Amino acid sequence: MPEGMKLTRTRIRGGVWEGVLTGAGAQPPKLEVLHLERPLAGVLVTPVPGREGDFAVKVPIPAEVLSEGVQTLLVRHGSETLAHFTIITGVAMEDDLRAEIDLLRAELDMLKRAFRRHCLETVS
């Protein structure tokens, strides 16, 4: 594997995870995507036009991977994990850290507005 190879996620759209692999050399590397230690089929690695050594990576997410809870998929080249992505489905997880952070942001925004209003009222 060429040194300095890096896989960057770009998006998930229409059930396909997409990323850009840089520093891979002239030939597309063989990547595998694992879910629960089982490889997924259909991984595409294609050259990015005009960018030598860069490849577009597309991973179709099969329906059987989507089940309640948190599912993590690993993108690997040989024994090295280049990237991973997580899919959360099913009932909203109230203890999910991201949900807690969103809630804290909303409460902080509310407190900032109230504090600013209080400062304006006490200055007058």
From first to last of its 124 residues, the chain has per-residue pLDDT tens of 446 789 999 999 999 999 999 988 888 899 999 998 899 999 999 999 988 889 999 999 999 999 887 888 999 998 889 999 988 887 666 667 776 787 788 788 888 888 998 999 988 6
CA distance 96 to 72: 15
User: What pTM does this model have?
Assistant: 0.70
CA distance 28 to 107: 48
Q: What is the pLDDT of residue 93?
A: 61
Q: What is the pLDDT of residue 53?
A: 86
